[in-house]
Chain A
Amino acid sequence: LSYFCLFHSGAYCKMLLHAAKYPHCAVNGLLVAEKQKEKKKDSHSTPILCVDCIPLFHGTLALAPMLEVALTLIDTWCKENKYVIAGYYQANERTKDFRPNQFAEKVGARIAENFSEAAMIMVDSTRFTMGCYEPILTIYDHHENKWKCRDCNADCFEDWCEAQKITSALLEGRSYESLIDFDNHLDDLRNDWTNPEINKSVLHLC
């Protein structure tokens, strides 16, 4: 069984913007994909397209209640939009620490319960540059209760050149200052975690 996920430019850039907004904190979030119409027998050949990213928290990640609220709320939102929660990303507090921890594995496993091809994604901050010369993610797939590492290269993107161009432009323009994560939403309910403004900017740059 070989399934792999493709990143839409908007999903990739929002992950990096989230990490850039809080360079001194751990950050995490969810990736959503379009719900597949029917599960075909040979579905292992169809890649899953991660179309959007919902940034969740920054700072202390390992507490349950708000995570549960976020997962439930976003799950409801996904159902309305024919999406499914397809992955979880995390960037650790320390730059050099790019391995998944127990918490990341737990959340990943929880998501995999609802979506068997769920991916756990770790952001490698040591390779984080404004120019975005290479993809800085490591992808982990859930195989027999273990997480197996897979390399992330240009093939993992719908269009890597576009993703690179957009992410770099938004980083230069400091768009991360206006990125909203679920923590920001809990601080002020008017803050919209779907980030419509950033989505608009992404579309303009496409």
Chain B
Amino acid sequence: MFDYCRACRLMVTCGDTTRCSKGSAETNHTQFNDVKPVLPRAMASVSEMYDVTWEEMRDKLRKWREDNHRNSEQIVDVGEELINEHASKLGDDIWIIYEQVMIAALDCSRDDLAWTCLQELKRQFPGSQRVKRLAGMRLEALEKYEDASKQYDSILQDDPTNTAARKRKISILKAQGKSAEAIRELNEYLEQFVGDQEAWHELSELYINEHDYGKAAFCLEELMMTNPHNHLYCEQYAEVKYTQGGLENLELSRKYFAQALKLNNRNMRALFGLYMSASHIAACPKVNATVKKANVKYAAWATNQINRAYQLAGRGTKENKCSVKAVEEMLESMQITMS
């Protein structure tokens, strides 16, 4: 039985205990078997619909927390019921659940629920910076950016090293569409907090959206240096290089797609990327015969692997046959243009 790891997005066998290298956390793969509801949503409770106990609901919330999953509607469904029906059983877990549910509630415009969670947290942790930040996030959700900014500034007055408050201020700039300012602030932040991977990744995305691929590549290089085993960073770097274009960047992208595959041989994006970059290099009139031959070989190898992956995936499902056929034909047609 296969499922896919929600952290690194690879297909793994259920019960797989090999390491998952998402971000900086080295944990085992996490798999989910989310049961889709068949009944209309209206009346049934989560525990009734999915036939789960409150412990399973609590564990699910924890998994989503650990993976930083943004499935806010589900978190609200499960979390709200847990809080309303089983608060007494949760012990000290309830506070972190309040925080998680509050943020999810903001995502779903459930200000009523967010407010309730916030009040509980304020009561339990008066004067806490962490709770102050949550109050700020609520103001952001209500688009009261000036008030939110003031809230974060007051946190920073008490604690100038509070990274969460600084990052929220940058998020406000992003929400307001002030990309150039967000980029500037984030660069300043990273000069001080050079090890903050989340920030480097955010910066690379901001640069990509501004089509500044050179600077995006730099951010990803930082991430690859500190996380040499992370196949996702390798693969994203390769995509940026490919997008930059030009023979040199294409060759670099092919190398990094190959590296990503070495780190994780089931990364389909890396496999497709290897195929595309090798094909383009082989088709380029500027390359000499040796380089062309080598890249034709790489592309052929990739074709083989892609076809195999599709065959494996298509086993047993009639509908997937169209995908398999389409891929085969696509690869065949590209072979023709290459030679």
Contacts and interface: CB of A to CB of B under 8 A. Distances in A.
Interface string A153-195: 0000000000000000000111001100000011111101110
Interface residues of A, number: 37
Contact of B272 (A69, A187, A193): A69
A64 B239 contact: yes
Contacts of A177: 36
A62 B243 contact: yes
Interface residue tally on B, bucketed by range? 35 or more
Contact of A63 (B240, B272, B327): B240
A79 B329 CA distance: 11
Contacts, number: 98
A60 B208 contact: yes
Nearest to B209: A62
Contacts of A72: 330, 334
B170 interface: no
A47 interface: no
Nearest to A68: B276
Contacts of B185: none
Max count, chain B CB within 10 A of own CB: residue among A23, A72, A190, A193: A190
Interface in B313-327: 313-314, 317, 319-320, 322-323, 325-327
A76 B329 contact: yes
Contact of B4 (A97, A172, A187): A187
B142 interface: no
Contacts of B277: 65
Contacts of A196: 319
A94 interface: yes
Given A60-B208, A94-B175, A190 B317 contact: yes
A56 to B, nearest CB: 13
A193 B319 CA distance: 11
A17 to B, nearest CB: 14
A40 B310 CA distance: 40
Max count, chain B CB within 10 A of own CB: residue among A72, A102, A192: A72
A115 interface: no
Given A80-B325, A190-B317, A64 B272 contact: no
A100 to B, nearest CB: 14
A158 to B, nearest CB: 25
B4 A188 contact: yes
A80 B73 CA distance: 38
A60 B237 CA distance: 13
A23 B319 CA distance: 29
A171 B242 CA distance: 37
B205 interface: yes
Max count, chain B CB within 10 A of own CB: residue among A23, A173, A185, A196: A23
B310 A192 contact: no
Interface in A63-95: 63-66, 68-69, 72-73, 75-77, 80, 93-94
B123 interface: no
18 contacts: A60-B209, A62-B209, A64-B245, A65-B238, A65-B239, A65-B253, A65-B273, A65-B277, A69-B272, A73-B327, A76-B330, A80-B325, A186-B272, A189-B268, A190-B2, A190-B317, A192-B320, A196-B319
